[in-house]
Amino acid sequence: MGDDRFQFIPDAGDERKALSVLTRVYRDIGLAAVAEALRLPTEGFEPDMIESLERGEFYLLPPAGALAQAGTDA
């Protein structure tokens, strides 16, 4: 998958496009959460589904070190 997967942030005035991007983000997160909960292997999925799962994992996983830093803030 290319590096351009997250560069399509819509303009503030384009409400329809913003809603479609949000719909896709929510779908990707949901697919990744279900796949993770069911421990589904990604082999056998279509390439579009694999890309959705990868994008969803990006949103589900905290940035590196975020959990460790949260533990020191408490």
Confirm whether 7 is domain-assigned.
no
The count of structural domains within the chain is: 1
pTM of the model: 0.60
Predicted local confidence at residue 50, as pLDDT: 92
For 32, 65, 66, the CA distances from 25, given in Å and listed in that order, are 11, 23, 21
Q: Which domain holds residue 50?
A: 14-73
Confirm whether 61 is domain-assigned.
yes
Confirm whether 1 is domain-assigned.
no
**pLDDT tens digits along 19-72:** 788 888 899 999 999 999 999 998 889 999 999 999 998 888 776 666 566 666
Confirm whether 65 is domain-assigned.
yes
